[in-house]
Amino acid sequence: MLLTKLETVRKRSEALIQPLEPDDLSLQGMADASPPKWHLAHTTWFFETFLLQPHLEGHQSCDPRWSYQFNSYYEAVGKRYPRPERGLLSRPGIAAILDWRHSVDEGLRRLLEKPSLELIQLVELGLQHEQQHQELLLMDLLDGFSRQPLEPCYDTKADLTTSVEKRRWLSCAEGLVKIGHGGKGFHFDNESPRHRVWLDCFELQSDLVTNGDYEQFIADGGYQRPELWMSEGWSCCQRNGWQAPRYWRGACEEFTLAGRRPREQRSPVRHVSWFEADAFARWRDARLPSEAEWEHARCIHNKDLRHAHGALWQWTSTPYRPYPGFTTAPGAIGEYNGKFMSSQFVLRGSCWMTPTGHERDTYRNFFPPASRWMGSGIRLAR
């Protein structure tokens, strides 16, 4: 079954570049993003470095310069090519990278003939990692395409199309609750340990904030009223000239993976930073939920919490920090999540670019408060 999943996930990465022109494969729109080709190579590097090199007898390592190029941030593995310049890596060409993918896949198949539990867990991590990069690939591509006058369309079917229904407030009583992953299935280290948190009573909206709502915020001077903003967010806004969500275009359009399209009033507003989400909530006399509130409400209200998954990640009010008792794995794998626990905020749920099956109610996504190229949206609490 793991072999099947391996094949499915690995093939999907390659399917993602099918709609692209060769010229798009090295596109890196900004320092925070990576080219499609790099994502394909890096996920392969991950398997080669953490699976094949230490565990597959007779494995021939790749050129160390490839390892240098395709290591993302693992200090324990060695130095890395500077992230903001990944778009300059015209070599290896895509053909060589696809060959590498296939030979690593072959190695993995050999390795999984009689796998130990440790290996199974590592492969599972590698696949979850690759799924994360599938979402990153799409986010990064949207960013890269958005910078071009020709406004390329990635795929007419790749856009989010959903509507928000009439919203109501879902109540939760105060109490000592448990959050975090406590079961046996796969989860990232940052989702555990499961632990107790005290929650005062609160309410969460049953659905997301819409484009229509957000237009009212703008019309009411949302981007001109410093009193609605964190000081840091206000500076960020001024410095970057923000007047609307990242991909809004003109009065009634937005840029998407399906090219420029009409902006639907009833669709959830997306590609907003934490600063914008926070300011919007304040304007509405509401606030963002804490991640514990989100997780607990999801547990209590389940499907009544619409668009919990599959539409947009939802900003929480919670800075990304370790859960009480959090520990990291030894070695490079321990760098996966733990070292990013400062100056970021947690997002909960998942988005339309998240691969199916990758979402989890305990999932902790995280981004700096000024980021807005990912599939982020707003759910209000009070």
Which parts of this chain interact with a second copy (CB under 8 A)?
A: 21-29, 37, 63, 65, 68-69, 73, 75-76, 81, 85, 87-94, 144-145, 147-150, 152, 176, 195-198, 200, 226-227, 229-234, 274-275, 278, 317-319, 321, 324-325, 334-335, 339-343, 369
Which helix (H) or strand (E) segment is 316 a member of? strand 313-319
Question: Which residue, 20 or 56, has its beta carbon nearer to a second copy?
Answer: 20
Residue 225 beta carbon to a second copy: minimum distance, rounded to whole angstroms:
9
Structure tokens at 90: 């015209």
Residue 104 beta carbon to a second copy: minimum distance, rounded to whole angstroms:
18
Question: Which residue, 49 or 211, has its beta carbon nearer to a second copy?
Answer: 49
**CA–CA gap between residue 365 and residue 35 (Å, rounded):** 21
Residue 144 beta carbon to a second copy: minimum distance, rounded to whole angstroms:
7
Question: Which residue, 23 or 57, has its beta carbon nearer to a second copy?
Answer: 23
Residue 17 beta carbon to a second copy: minimum distance, rounded to whole angstroms:
12
Q: How many CB atoms lie under 10 A from the CB of residue 341?
A: 14
Which helix (H) or strand (E) segment is 27 a member of? none
* Residues 6 or more apart in contact with residue 376 via CB below 8 angstroms: 270, 271, 272, 273, 274, 277, 312, 313, 314, 315, 347, 351, 367
Residue 285 beta carbon to a second copy: minimum distance, rounded to whole angstroms:
11
* Residues 6 or more apart in contact with residue 317 via CB below 8 angstroms: 278, 287, 288, 289, 290, 345, 381
Question: Which residue, 9 or 292, has its beta carbon nearer to a second copy?
Answer: 292
Question: Which residue, 148 or 171, has its beta carbon nearer to a second copy?
Answer: 148
**CA–CA gap between residue 259 and residue 261 (Å, rounded):** 6
CA distances from 287 to 168, 228, 282, 358, 378 (A): 15, 11, 6, 28, 10
Structure tokens at 102: 């296939």
Question: Which residue, 163 or 343, has its beta carbon nearer to a second copy?
Answer: 343
Residue 266 beta carbon to a second copy: minimum distance, rounded to whole angstroms:
30
